[in-house]
Structures are given as C-alpha cells and as structure tokens.
Amino acid sequence: MKRCISILSLLLAFVASSSFANPIAFGPYVQNMTDDQATVCWTTYKTSVDISSEKGTETKRLYDQHEITFSRLEADTEYHYDVLKDGTDFGKGSFRTFKEGIAPFKFVVYGDTRSDHNIHRKIVELSEKEDPRLVINSGDLVSSGTNIHDWEKFFEINREFMKTRPYYPVLGNHEKNADYYFDFFSLPGNERYYEFYVGDVLFLMLDSEGSRFTMPEYAQNTDKFWGNYWTPYFIKQKEWVQEMLTRHRDAGYIFVFFHSPIISIKETRVEDAKIRRKFWGDIFEKNNVSAVISGHDHHYHRYEADGVPMITSGGGGAGLYDGDPKFAPGESILYKKVNHFITVDVGLKEATLKAIDVEGNEIETFSIPRRKTDYKPSAK
Ligand SMILES: [Fe+2]
C-alpha cells in the first residue's frame, strides 16, 4: 500500500508540474539596485485548479514567491543570472549595477497603468527604447490589487522590461493595500514608504493612501471622500520624510513620489487635494525638493506649488480624465489629456524632464537645476 501511495504521489507531482511548460509565472525581475547589490525576484506556479459552471471555466492558481539578493557586486557592471538553470531561457535575465558616485543616468516615470493593457504595453515598449536605469510607477499599477488576474497581466506586460532594471512603485488606492503588492515587490524599509539613492540623488517614495480605501465613506464615493491625513500613520510618515530630507540635505537632487497629488484640476478632486496640500505644508519648499511627481488623475499636468516643480502623471493606461487649469490659477503650467510617460535625464548640472505621449511624440521638455550642495533647510 505504501508503495502504491508513493507511486501515486509521483504521478500527481508529475501531473502538477507538467501542466506548466514554463514553471515561472512572473519574472524574473530586478529590485533594490545599488552600485554593489541587486535583488532578483521570481514567482513560480504552485498549482492550479479549474472551477467550472454552466457559464464557463475559470482557472485559479497558487504561486510561490522567491527572491535572492546578490551583494558585493562591482559597480557599473553587467551581470547575467539564471534562476532556473534548466537549460531553457525562462529563468534568464541580466542587469547592470548602478555607477559608483555622481554620474548621469536616466529613469522613466509613469502611472495608473491599471486598465487599458494595450496602452500599458505601448508605454512599456516606448520606455524600454529609452533604456532607463530604473523605472518608477506613480501608483495604481493594477485595477484591483486583490485580484491575482490583474497581477498576472501586469507581469506579463512587464516581463522583458523588468528583467533588466529595477522597478520602484508607490502605493495607489487601487493597490488596496493588498498582500500581493508586498509579496511581489521587494522594497527597502517598511515597503509602504521608503527611500533609495542613485549616486547623490535621493528618491523618496511615499504612501498617500494609508488605509482610507477600507473606510465605508471612501468605498461609497471615492471622488467625494476627503481624507483625513492627521492620523498617527501619516504624521509618522511626515516625520520620517523630514528626517530623510534633513539627513540628505546635501543631495544633488531630491525627487519625491506619491500617488494622489496635492493639486488636482479634476473638478471632483480639487478639495481632496487641498487637504493633502495642507497636510504636507511647506515641507517640500523649505527643504528645496527638486520635483514632486504623483499620479491618480489620468492625464499630464505640470504645475508649481510654492516654487516646487510638480507633475501629475497618470497616463499609463487608465481611462483619461478631463482637467481644467482654472482650478490651479497661477500654479498650473501645462495640462494635456493624453496617455504618456516621462523620461528624466539626470545630469551633472541639471535634470531634463521630457513628457512623451503614447505615440512617441514629445509633449514638453523642461529642466530642473542641481541643488546647491551647501543647501540648508530654511528656519521657517
Ligand atoms: Fe488612483
């Protein structure tokens, strides 16, 4: 009997593993890059179950998540990896570590990739041609963070792009604080808000969402719910932001990212954004932040708040929104209702930001100067 069970187990194991030609579901993909370290993640199929009714059959899958960190690497060096070593190309990828010290590099930004997969795919293809060293998503990566099928599509679209460069997201309201987000991404710190560096460039990746999406008032009408940011969670986050800005006051550039903008020109969100602006106060201005980039409003909008350059970049795939610059008089600079992404060429004297639409046409280009290295936060 024991022998029969063993054979049966072997047969079952064979059926389960042979049902996936490629054992890798998502990835491999790169996370947490520095000039001497990188993490490679990948997700394998554990098993799948079909559930059928008269309306059809749906397949549910279970996954195992893996990650491995390579340390003591050489700076600006190309490394090849193979997480499967099974003779196929499924587990293969490569990355180049960041350069050591201060050096020019390029990154791309886009967000709200969630619902139109064709637009998302086009944005990824155009971004890939720019050959950025890293990718930032300004939130709402998927339509529903709790729906595994949305993540399956996300990783399918990004399969090649994420093999070769780190992908840094911020939490959007559509991520819904789901475990999948934290399982799939390997991010610094608490993963909800975190910092990373490239040379002397500081990236602050913040959480503008908290847990408000779980509140009944929010679920009933997301556009009419005006959040309360004076909660222990957001106050603690703001204290951490100030601590980072003080510690890195000599940074050459400081780029801040969070999903929901502090100025909205979408009529139903104007008041909600004002609350966020009041909460953050003058923290970006007094610490001489280079630029703040958000998403959430599905269009391109460049504006300036208290002298700080800001962009709402939510044109990565979700349905486009109307905006009206009259809601930000004297602050709105350019609004375009268009799917797009942004390239940022970080140079030794200035960073050049270029907004590009989904057809590859330039929307606008502008520059931000390198911060003065002797910068002191103002006392006000
Ligand atoms: Fe959003």
Question: Is the predicted pLDDT of residue 9 greater than 70, yes or no?
Answer: no
- 22 backbone dihedrals φ, ψ, rounded to 5°: -110, 115
Question: Is the predicted pLDDT of residue 361 greater than 80, yes or no?
Answer: yes
Cα of 10 vs centre of ligand 1, distance in Å, is 47
Question: Is the predicted pLDDT of residue 224 greater than 80, yes or no?
Answer: no
Q: List, for residues 66-76, the tens digit of each pLDDT value.
A: 999 999 999 99
* Position 211 confidence tier, pLDDT thresholds 50, 70, 90: confident
From the list 214, 207, 321, the residue with the least C-alpha distance to 259 is 207
Cα of 175 vs centre of ligand 1, distance in Å, is 9
Cα of 340 vs centre of ligand 1, distance in Å, is 16
- Amino acid letter at 223? D
- Amino acid letter at 342? I
Please give the pLDDT value at position 338.
Answer: 98
Provide mean pLDDT across the span 55-72.
90
> Quick one: CATH architecture of 21-100?
Sandwich (2.60)
Listed by start position, the domains of the chain span 21-100, 101-369
Question: Is the predicted pLDDT of residue 210 greater than 90, yes or no?
Answer: no
* Position 197 confidence tier, pLDDT thresholds 50, 70, 90: very high
Cα of 375 vs centre of ligand 1, distance in Å, is 34
Which DSSP state fits 225?
-
Cα of 292 vs centre of ligand 1, distance in Å, is 16
What mean pLDDT value characterizes the chain?
A: 90
Domain 101-369 has CATH 3.60.21.10: yes
Provide mean pLDDT across the span 93-105.
96
Output the pTM of the full model: 0.90
Question: Is the predicted pLDDT of residue 48 greater than 70, yes or no?
Answer: yes
Task: Work out the percent of the chain whose per-residue pLDDT is above 90.
Answer: 77
Q: Report the alpha-carbon distance of residue 61 to residue 273 in Å, rounded.
A: 39
* Position 51 confidence tier, pLDDT thresholds 50, 70, 90: confident
Whether the upstream peptide bond of residue 28 has omega within 30° of 0, thus cis, is: yes
Cα of 318 vs centre of ligand 1, distance in Å, is 9
Cα of 56 vs centre of ligand 1, distance in Å, is 32
Question: Is the predicted pLDDT of residue 5 greater than 90, yes or no?
Answer: no
Cα of 141 vs centre of ligand 1, distance in Å, is 9
